[in-house]
Amino acid sequence: MVRQSPTLPPPILLVEDTISLQIVYRAILESAGHTVTVAANAAEARAHFQEHGPAVVLLDLVLPDRDGLELMQEFLALAPETGFIAITANNSADRAVEAMRAGAHDYLVKPIDEARLLDAVRNALAEKRPRRAAPPVHVPDRGSAPVETSGFIGSSESMRRIHGTIGSVARSMATVFITGESGTGKELCALAVHAHSARAQGPFIALNCGAIPQDLLESEVFGHMKGSFTGAISDKPGAAAAADGGTLFLDEICEMAPALQTKLLRFLQTSTVQPVGATRPRKVNVRIVCATNRDPLEAVRRGQFREDLYYRLYVVPIHMPPLRERGEDVIEIAEAALIRFAEEEGRRFQGLSPEVQAQLMRLPWPGNVRQLLNVIRNVVVLNPGGLVTPEMLPPGLTLDEAAEPQDAEEGVTADGLPLDGLVGLSLAEAERRLIEATLARHGGSIPRAARVLEVSPSTLYRKLDGWKARAG
């Protein structure tokens, strides 16, 4: 395959069978300084691809002589470093998603916005720059807060598949949708995607959509201008602008209000943000990774999550399995956490005894990796060192109690909620008991408890913060 001289602009191959669109797209690209060759069908595209070795291919998925997706896969087998941008009609979003999963860098929906077209090409070209070796998961610096990495350790088959997916998707601009129970390491997975991408030197901004009151969430995501609402005493850039050049991680995405979902969809389509109170939008270059511990498709069926936003985000799904399904990963995570926490506390531990390993393997871990890390930290903090024995494990971590959590407290139903114990309490205290019991029943997951109680997760966060403040 012939490659052009490195002194020339990287060539772009445009594969589009509609003549009028060829003219429009070519004019836009050439006015931006790009070298463009045009093909009207698969046969011409193959000839140009072999002759010019384009850096980026803009490919209409519907061609007169061949399926565009098959053509892309053929070209990727010849030159895996090529950046493909799929072009699709508005009524064939599923094909675009299929193309992204097959290796496309991005996709454009007709009619194509000029700025969106140039952004997609620029991002695809940027991903082709020489890249250094992928850093470890903990490389992204998010300030002084330490990043716990033990939860992303594991050699189980499920974790090997996840690491393989991350390696494949990290180089692209495709959005990644991470699902899994609370405490399974979804944010660590997002960090791994960021750390293995060409954006690793850029910011990693995490935002929990369920922890922020809905009336403030738009400001947190897109920012606001001074004086735009009561309490806006200064300009605030927002998470999307703060993540410019890096990755924006939206956790608990299914808790986002419908009105904000519409604005997020526009942001994904235009790559622009408009802070509350601003008169002009601002262009940003952000890669989106999102996560939820709910079933996103079920949220769509219930009308709680926009279907078009779901298909725009759900391009590369990654499911983080619960710890109980990860076999000996439990021991690997526990041993790594023991070393880390012992170093932090200045203790010397010799490892886990066989009895402790056997017990950790048998426990159901409703709180997943987060619960396991808390158990190991408890061991390190409360013991001077040596070999970790069963006696060092925190009280209550027994097989009997773990197997039947519904019987752990007298007066609690099979669903973990109090019965007669509420009688005689004030309404505020009864509410607190009910919320705490529901949280305990669902492993501390606020979104799950919120669904059971039929309230917003932000309501529970506010109540918990209020109780902590009064207790302090």
Domain 324-401 CATH assignment equals 1.10.8.60: yes
Which CATH superfamily groups domain 164-321?
P-loop containing nucleotide triphosphate hydrolases (3.40.50.300)
262, 308 in Cβ contact below 8 A? Answer: no
Supply the pLDDT for residue 447. Answer: 74
Question: Which residues neighbour 149 within 8 Å (Cβ) at sequence distance 6 or greater?
Answer: 136, 137, 138, 188
pLDDT recorded at residue 305: 92
Helix (H, G, I), strand (E, B) or coil at 208: strand
Question: Over 132-194, what HEC string results?
Answer: CCCCCCCCCCCCCCCCCCHHHCCCCHHHHHHHHHHHHHCCCCCCEEEEECCCCCHHHHHHHHH
Residue 291 in contact with residue 318, Cβ under 8 Å? no
**Count of CB atoms situated within 10 Å of the CB of 282:** 17
Taking the chain (472 residues) in consecutive chunks of 10 residues, what is each chunk's mean pLDDT?
Answer: 50 90 90 91 90 90 87 85 83 67 79 84 69 36 42 83 87 89 90 88 88 76 78 78 91 88 88 83 90 90 91 92 92 91 89 93 90 92 92 74 39 45 70 83 76 74 75 62
> Residue 79 and residue 59: Cα distance in Å, rounded?
15
Please give the Cα distance from 278 to 222 (Å, whole number): 10
Q: 288 forms bridges with which residues in the sheet?
A: 248
Distance CA 259, CA 265 (A): 10
Is-contact 108 117, C-beta < 8 A?
yes
Confirm if 353 and 389 have CB atoms less than 8 A apart: yes
Q: Residue 204 has what DSSP assignment?
A: E
Domain 11-126, CATH number (from 1.10.3720.10, 3.40.50.300, 3.40.50.2300, 3.90.226.10): 3.40.50.2300
218 contacts 209 by C-beta, under 8 angstroms? no
pLDDT at 421: 57
**Tokens in use for 386?**
């040596």
Residue 390 CB contacts under 8 Å (≥ 6 apart), including other chains: 353, 355, 356, 359
Q: Are strands 385-388 and 287-292 parallel, antiparallel or unpaired?
A: unpaired
Say if strands 272-273 and 106-109 run parallel, antiparallel, or are unpaired: unpaired
- Report the alpha-carbon distance of residue 211 to residue 463 in Å, rounded: 11
Token digits for 456?
């917003």
Work out the angle between the directed axes of helices 258-270 and 214-222 (0-180°, nearest 10): 10
Q: What is the total residue count of the chain?
A: 472
Q: pTM for the complete prediction?
A: 0.60
Q: Which residues pair with 236 in a beta bridge?
A: 224
Nearest to 15 by CA among 1, 56, 3: 56
CA distances from 296 to 305, 415, 442, 467 (A): 8, 24, 19, 31
The span from the CA of 112 to the CA of 121, in Å, is 13
To which residue do tokens 């944010």 refer?
187
